[in-house]
């Protein structure tokens, strides 16, 4: 794995819409290796939280920039702000991050998980893609991965650092946060990477058979609630065994997941 820091002179990659871009990675090799890198950064720096990109870093930068302009998330800049002054820009980036985190946290309610279940337009091909992605999550890695170093409190929504869900048919940042919170509370999964179409979470240890089935029951409800054909998809029978082999869980959050997987 090749690594470098955005703070170094003349980094080879632009920060784009990743306001807290800290490190870039090439030749990551596997999702497990990316998780290990993120966890090593967390362990060495408990005062910050770290979030990586996943699939299509450039497309994600574009859609994240637009998603952050959601009226519920956007913070106006101060009148007369000088965008050519790095100190002023850094101060605004911090205020905007804290504003997004507050908005996401305050909007979260006990019914958020139930509301998001079954709300994404999903086909049989999408369920097959979901299973395939969890069988081979390394395929979701882009050639270059960004890691953001986020000055967020431990109870702040991590997606505040990389909001997404820009297109109307996709889950938005608030819906994705509801998913992250439910999976954390019920199954011990924590978000560690967001991409243009997929997101990756991990727990401390792979689940056992009983835990894996409970996780799949929730994921099945998330994508197939109210659709008898999707609830009967054979992919749900294969997923528990896959989850028992790994700490990670990958989920698509955009319309036409199957197309994005290919």
Is residue 167 classed as helix, strand or coil in its secondary structure?
coil
CB 231 within 8 A of CB 220: yes
Please state, for a pLDDT cut of 70, what percent of the chain lies above it: 95
Cα–Cα distance for residue pair 177/137, rounded to 1 Å: 21
Q: Is the pLDDT of residue 219 over 70?
A: yes
What is d(CA 207, CA 247) in angstroms, rounded to the nearest whole number? 7
The burial class, CB within 10 Å (0-12 / 13-18 / 19+), for 65 is middle
Q: What is the end-to-end Cα distance of the chain in Å, rounded?
A: 25
Determine the 3-state secondary structure of 150 from DSSP.
strand
Q: Is the pTM of this model over 0.85?
A: yes
Q: Which tens digit of pLDDT belongs to each residue from 83-107?
A: 677 788 888 889 989 999 999 998 8
Contact residues for 252 (Cβ-Cβ < 8 A; gap 6+): 126, 129, 130, 133, 197, 198, 199, 260, 261
Q: Are 255 and 126 in contact (CB under 8 A)?
A: no
Cα 136 to Cα 37, 82, 194, 248, distances in angstroms: 19, 46, 17, 11
Residue 261 has pLDDT above 70, yes or no: no
Q: What is the arithmetic mean of pLDDT over 33-40?
A: 98
Tell me the per-residue pLDDT of 37-51, one tens digit each, with 9 for 90 and over.
999 999 999 999 999
The two structure tokens encoding residue 45: 């720096």
């Amino acid at each position: 794995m090749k690594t470098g820091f955005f703070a170094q002179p003349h980094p080879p990659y632009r920060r784009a819409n990743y306001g807290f871009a800290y490190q870039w990675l090439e030749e990551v090799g596997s999702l497990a290796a990316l998780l290990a890198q993120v966890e090593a950064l967390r362990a060495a720096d408990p005062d910050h939280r770290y979030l990586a990109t996943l699939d299509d870093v450039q497309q994600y930068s574009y859609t994240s920039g637009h998603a952050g302009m959601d009226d519920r998330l956007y913070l106006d800049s101060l009148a007369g702000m000088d965008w050519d002054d790095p100190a002023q820009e850094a101060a605004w980036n911090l205020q905007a991050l804290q504003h997004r985190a507050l908005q996401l946290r305050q909007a979260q309610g006990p019914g958020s998980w139930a509301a998001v279940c079954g709300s994404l337009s999903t086909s049989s091909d999408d369920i097959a893609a979901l299973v395939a992605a969890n069988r081979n999550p390394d395929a979701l890695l882009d050639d270059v991965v960004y890691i953001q170093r986020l000055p967020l409190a431990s109870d702040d929504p991590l997606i505040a650092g990389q909001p997404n869900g820009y297109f109307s048919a996709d889950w938005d940042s608030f819906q994705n946060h509801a998913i992250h919170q439910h999976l954390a509370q019920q199954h011990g999964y924590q978000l560690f990477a967001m991409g243009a179409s997929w997101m990756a979470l991990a727990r401390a240890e792979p689940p056992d058979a009983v835990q894996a089935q409970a996780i799949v029951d929730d994921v099945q409800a998330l994508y197939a609630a109210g659709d008898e054909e999707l609830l009967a998809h054979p992919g749900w029978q294969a997923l528990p065994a896959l989850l028992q082999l790994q700490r990670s869980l990958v989920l698509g959050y955009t319309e036409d997941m199957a197309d994005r997987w290919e």
